[in-house]
Amino acid sequence: MSITQWDPTALPIRPGLYTNFVEAAIAQITGGARGVVAIPLKKHAGQAVAKKFYTIEREGDAIIMFGQANIQSVVFALAGGAKEVLVYTMPTIDGAVTEEIAYTEAREAFEARPFNVFVYDGEISATQQDATVVWRERNETEKKHFFFVTGGDAVADQDPATGNARTTKFADDATVNLITGVTIGDKDYTSAEYSAHIAGLIAGTPINRSITYAQVRVDDVTKRLRNSEIVTALQTGSLVLVHDGEKVIVEQGITTGKQKIRKVRARQAIATDVEKTARDHYIGKLDNNEDGQMALINAIKAYLETLEVNNVVTDIVVTLDPQRESKGDQVFLFISITEIDSMERIFLTISTQ
């Protein structure tokens, strides 16, 4: 995936701010409206009707709209920390062809709505998982950025190699693949079913914090992995839940592209917020001269410096791009930052005498 949103040989025609964040090794981009989880809900028996959007902030509202028996994924997302859940009510699905059409329509409908993390209502076919990763990547090239969180069924959850194979297949910087199911009381939930809680956790965690070692309120995992299996999963890019002897925690906040979720979310915040600010306050409102260009640069700097104070990024540079001339209605900026990671591995050297 490339962070580049414009091609120097084929500049965009539409007015807008086209960002090009360059990293030391490879450019990458993600984004989303922080705090919102998007879910296409399979069934509903309350006041809701099919093919409509509903914004849910409380479990009680979900019960009224969709019925108690149909809202587990919504409840998981809210319990994970989502500010709100954007629900799209699915029509009745009858067969694989209808499923493909219905989910394609649902995904296209979500494109016009702001959200941070996309997750399905429970288990979904491998075909739809693959299509969703492709859809997420396509949206990224069109400047709509979000995470996709998914998982597997009960059989896959018992074999970490199967979950890791799914991770390798996705290999996407903004896709998270949970490979362990959980037990709550006397009920087991597959990793696909519990992925809604992870989606809520990602959406609800501040961008200057990691979900690594975050506790999840479950009794156990459906399969406790050995140390070697956990290491292999992390090296693959799988998200693993681990029972540490007292509680269940997220071993490491990582994506299938082997990126830290915290760092990816920092990039998404910048990509989303800078562009929105430019649309709201600068595009079409500033002269493209030295004064206008400095006003834009200073505004972006102020935003990034706010993130710096809150330990999201550091080493901020915002200037006119020295490789391209800003003239006419075009402004080219060079932005360089370093994302701040969380302390996740502590090595002790203890000397005794």
Show me where the domains of the chain are located. 1-353
Tell me the β-bridge partners of 145: none
The mean pLDDT of 60-87, rounded to a whole number, is 96
CA distance to 2, 23, 29, 275, per residue, from 26 (Å): 8, 6, 10, 21
The predicted structure's pLDDT at residue 271? 80
The predicted structure's pLDDT at residue 8? 63
The mean pLDDT of 10-18, rounded to a whole number, is 66
Residues in contact with 120: Cβ distance below 8 Å, sequence separation at least 6, in sequence order:
39, 40, 73, 128, 132, 150, 192, 195
The predicted structure's pLDDT at residue 313? 85
The predicted model scores a pTM of 0.87
Q: Which secondary-structure segment (H or E) carries 183?
A: strand 182-184
pLDDT for 275 beyond 70: yes
CATH class label, 1-353:
alpha beta
pLDDT digit string (tens) for 212-254? 999 999 999 999 999 999 999 999 999 999 999 999 999 999 9
The predicted structure's pLDDT at residue 291? 87
The predicted structure's pLDDT at residue 71? 97
Closest CA to 177 of 227, 116, 236: 236
* Type of residue found at 317: V
The predicted structure's pLDDT at residue 6? 60
pLDDT for 50 beyond 90: yes
Query: Residue 165, Cα to own-chain centre: how many angstroms?
Result: 20
Phi and psi of 334, rounded to 5°? -110, 120
The predicted structure's pLDDT at residue 14? 67
Confidence of residue 21 (pLDDT cuts 50, 70, 90): very low
The mean pLDDT of 76-102, rounded to a whole number, is 92
Tell me the β-bridge partners of 241: 250
The predicted structure's pLDDT at residue 2? 36
The predicted structure's pLDDT at residue 212? 95
Confidence of residue 23 (pLDDT cuts 50, 70, 90): very low
| Residue 215: other Cβ atoms inside 10 A | 11
